[in-house]
Amino acid sequence: MKKISLLAAAVLLISSLLFCFSACSSDGSEIEDSTAAYSYVDSATPAKTSSEEVLHYFNELVNKIKSEKPAVSYNIEKSIPNDSIRVTKKGAEQSEETDSSLDAINDSAKGLKDLVLENIKRTRGNIAYGEENSDILFVKGESWASKLTENDIKYASMKEVGDNYYITIAFNDLTSAEAQEVLTKAFDLRDKDDILNSAELAKTNAYLKLNDYDVVYSGCTITATVNRFTDELTNVYYYKAANVTADMTGNGTLANYGDVSVMFKLEDKANFDITWENGYPTSPLDTSNAQ
């Protein structure tokens, strides 16, 4: 019983000492509330509310990447989801059922997709601080990255979370002609003649010859992360989805199929991480292709 009493007394003594040290400073004054160190810090630029203001802010920041040349790490990927590929007889594009005679060509279309995308599925690498970036960043070859206006977009929004602003720019559905007027102001977009005569599609000519195509761009977005204390972009992510309907004619072993429509969704995803400190990363431009 005596041991228990001594132990209880020791615990009380230690607790009292801890309380005294945690509650009082060396001169007897109270320690300031620790939460004071985490008080809110104002942004360099107040958050924007209207689409026009957000878009203007984004354009200003993204164009600085081209002019001020920070370090950039990039990953650009193209893909065609297998479940988006469908082959029908020409004129039967809206039919819910697929002609059973096209089962074999529907199965082979997935292999043709991989043939077309071979060597262009993914491109990634780094650009060192101060190095020219106009051949990698959108829009390639230009001294600017965005010339979008409010009339080009569905909306632009900004949200503040912690130390960052998060910007989302969304686009309306666009036909091929409309996309050439709009998306070329912020994305890389090949024109129709270039695609029809591309080396990628030339690979499929022995099986399916492309005569013409129609495309609708749907769900395209740009998202960006901004350090709100420095007004510097730290990440920009581009998503472009093209719903394609291609008019094709069977060749070689597929000649018996005649004229068909091949429908698929081509997705382009491009992620750019930006670092504004001089000298990081130091690796040279090194583009690799991942299969």
Amino acid occupying residue 273 = D
Name the nearest CA neighbour of 61 among 241, 230, 215.
Answer: 230
Is it the case that residue 211 has pLDDT exceeding 60?
Answer: yes
In angstroms, rounded to a whole number, what is the distance separating the alpha carbons of residues 152 and 172? 8
Neighbours of 99 (CB within 10 A): 15
In angstroms, rounded to a whole number, what is the distance separating the alpha carbons of residues 127 and 12? 62
The stretch 54-62 carries a mean pLDDT of: 98
Is it the case that residue 163 has pLDDT exceeding 90?
Answer: yes
pLDDT value of residue 46:
95
The stretch 221-246 carries a mean pLDDT of: 95
Assign 261 a pLDDT band (cuts: 50, 70, 90): confident
For the chain, percent of residues with pLDDT exceeding 70: 75
The stretch 232-243 carries a mean pLDDT of: 96
Name the nearest CA neighbour of 268 among 225, 194, 218, 232.
Answer: 218
pLDDT value of residue 280:
46
Is it the case that residue 109 has pLDDT exceeding 60?
Answer: yes
pLDDT value of residue 258:
86
User: pTM higher than 0.95, yes or no?
Assistant: no
The stretch 242-246 carries a mean pLDDT of: 88
Is it the case that residue 105 has pLDDT exceeding 90?
Answer: no
Amino acid occupying residue 35 = T
Element (H, E) at 17: helix 2-23
- Tell me which of 101 and 250 has the higher pLDDT: 250
